[in-house]
Amino acid sequence: MYDNPVISGFHPDPSVCRVGDDYYLVCSSFEYFPGLPLFHSKDLVHWQQIGNVLDRPGQLPLPLPGAKASGGLYAPTIRHHDGRFWVVNTNIDGGGNFLVTAERPEGPWSDPVRIDLTGIDPDLAWEEDGTCWCAFSGPAGGINMARIDPATGKVLEGPFPTWSGTGLKFPEAPHLYRIGDWWYLLIAEGGTERGHSVSLARSRSPRGPWEGAPGNPLLSHSGTSHPIQNTGHADLVQAPDGSWWMVLLGVRPRGFTPDVHVLGRETFLTPVEWDEDGWPVLAPVPERHAAPGGAWHPVPDVPARDDFDAPALAPHWISPFARPEGSWSLTERPGRLLLTATGPTLDSPGHTFLGRRQQHHDCRVTAEIDPGTGRGGLCVRLDEAHHYEVEAADGEVAVLARIGPLRQTVARRPAPAGPLRLTVTIRTRDLVPASPGLTDGGTTGPDTLAFWFGDPAAPDNRPLAELDGRYLSTEVACGFTGRVIGMYATEGQVAFDWYEYVPVPAPSS
């Protein structure tokens, strides 16, 4: 059996391909660098991040022109053709649609080749004679198709409009497949919120005409009480045993109505059956299901603790907009991560921040920090206008909250010089009340974030502050991303001896 999601946390818009017995999957990364996390699996269930497709500043303009939260890199597609891996993508903040290639999925990946098509969510598919088609979501709405030269990005035919779904809003995320005698066009529609859905059409030619599946939308959890919501933006893959599977995004909302999600859109896996007329049949995305056939291939978990002894940063570390070389170092103070401030505040782009995605509803993050004469700490970030942090500077530790236009220092405590231990705990039980004086039943948040100085397990230690997690949710902040918990510097240089992220199982009912 396997449990959904198969890749938890902020890993949306999954696209997958199989090469022999190996599966490769890539996700959107929006404003974060490195861009487009790349995963490998042997069984579609256990995934290990093996790199990032865009891991060099020269592969895309950084900082992104007009950089903004939830901008940047949208909806990649990964395919394998003619002995090479291909990833096609959109940079909405500069460069438009482009593709990169590599002989090996671990890279190195090429510099981008621009495709002169206006729209988002590009896809690649080849005919047997080598003709390459690019399906994408056009600027006027609906799915467009163009024939391109993938080596140069030149448009050879089109673009022209093709099938645009069942009439729901935002038909997007097209994926084109040749299966048997049919071409199938899989799309998302209904928007990426609760109405998100998966629909499909087929034709004898990539040029159409297209016939919609009689059961469209084939998948939607809209209007249900299913714990997985916003299901859509899917990709199909066939296993070596002939079975078919679909990866797709979804969210796990929590809290009081209307529910909010804080981890971002995650990657789920669901089985696909085919009826006697050649149409795929999908059941609701399961929380737990029988795994694909074949051998079971667990992979190593991301290490809970990073002591910064390696010569390079692990691929799961990300930074908003850019990571200038002078903003961080693993060698200046060996065994420590040294961050140098590039901006005075987390409230606007240009700051120094290095974090990893929150992947569990209940977790604990601890870092040992030596602020020296600088200023820095731990931040739980959704965007520049929605973040909480615990920071050390000037002989004290403080908890700060930025919620929309409001910024407030929530708590302060004197702190000695030298290394300090800062902790953020996130829990889904025993929530802080929504307003002072409210007791049981008066909570609205999906979780509570507590900020600690010193050892939280010490009997006489109490959190500096506890804050409602709903303000760091997508439904409050808007956008397409999830929480990232990281280290930062906003003044001078700040050294981090280690960082630890630990899932904490919630107490049973």
Measure Cα distances from 276 to 176, 209, 273 in Å: 21, 22, 10
Check which CATH number belongs to the domain holding 486 and give it.
2.60.120.200
Tell me which of 289, 323, 346 is where a domain ends: 289
- Whether 296 is covered by a domain: the verdict is no
- Whether 297 is covered by a domain: the verdict is no
In angstroms, the CA 501 to CA 359 distance is 10
- Whether 362 is covered by a domain: the verdict is yes
Buried b (16+ CB within 10 A) or exposed e, 48-81: ebbbbbbbeeebbebbbeebbbbbbbbbbbbbee
Pair 6, 101 in one domain:
yes
Pair 277, 372 in one domain:
no
- Whether 370 is covered by a domain: the verdict is yes
Tell me which of 262, 289, 316 is where a domain ends: 289
Please indicate whether residue 13 is annotated as part of the active site. yes
Choose, from 123, 172, 235, 306, the residue flagged as catalytic. Answer: 172
In angstroms, the CA 498 to CA 308 distance is 7
What does pTM read for this prediction?
0.96
Range of the domain at 486: 305-503
Check which CATH number belongs to the domain holding 186 and give it.
2.115.10.20
Pair 310, 281 in one domain:
no
Pair 261, 315 in one domain:
no
Pair 172, 216 in one domain:
yes
Pair 248, 322 in one domain:
no
- DSSP structural state of residue 7: B
In angstroms, the CA 349 to CA 356 distance is 18
Please indicate whether residue 172 is annotated as part of the active site. yes
Tally the domains of the chain. Answer: 2
- Whether 299 is covered by a domain: the verdict is no
Pair 196, 324 in one domain:
no
Closest listed residue to residue 12, CA positions, set 362, 263, 372, 288: 263
In angstroms, the CA 26 to CA 30 distance is 13
- Whether 85 is covered by a domain: the verdict is yes
SS3 state of residue 436: coil
Pair 135, 210 in one domain:
yes
- Whether 199 is covered by a domain: the verdict is yes
Choose, from 13, 383, 384, 447, the residue flagged as catalytic. Answer: 13
The residue ranges of DSSP E strands in 138-265, in sequence order, are: 143-149, 154-161, 172-179, 182-189, 197-203, 211-212, 219-220, 229-238, 244-251
Pair 108, 183 in one domain:
yes
Per-residue confidence (pLDDT) for residue 509, from 0 to 100? 42
Phi and psi of 450, rounded to 5°?
-115, 140
Pair 246, 282 in one domain:
yes
Tell me which of 289, 315, 341 is where a domain ends: 289
pLDDT (tens, 9 = 90+) of the chain, 509 residues, equals: 999 999 999 999 999 999 999 999 999 999 999 999 999 999 999 999 999 999 998 887 655 555 689 999 999 999 999 999 999 999 998 879 999 999 999 999 999 999 999 999 999 999 999 999 999 999 988 999 999 999 999 999 999 999 999 999 999 999 999 999 999 999 999 999 999 999 999 999 999 999 999 999 999 999 999 999 999 999 999 999 999 999 999 999 999 888 999 999 999 999 999 999 999 999 999 999 999 988 899 999 899 999 999 999 999 999 999 999 999 999 999 999 999 999 999 999 999 999 999 999 999 999 999 999 999 999 999 999 999 999 999 999 999 999 999 999 999 999 988 799 999 999 999 999 877 665 555 678 899 999 999 988 888 889 999 999 999 999 999 999 999 999 999 999 999 999 999 999 866 54
Pair 237, 100 in one domain:
yes
Q: Is the peptide bond before 414 cis (omega within 30 degrees of 0)?
A: no
Pair 343, 474 in one domain:
yes
- Whether 295 is covered by a domain: the verdict is no
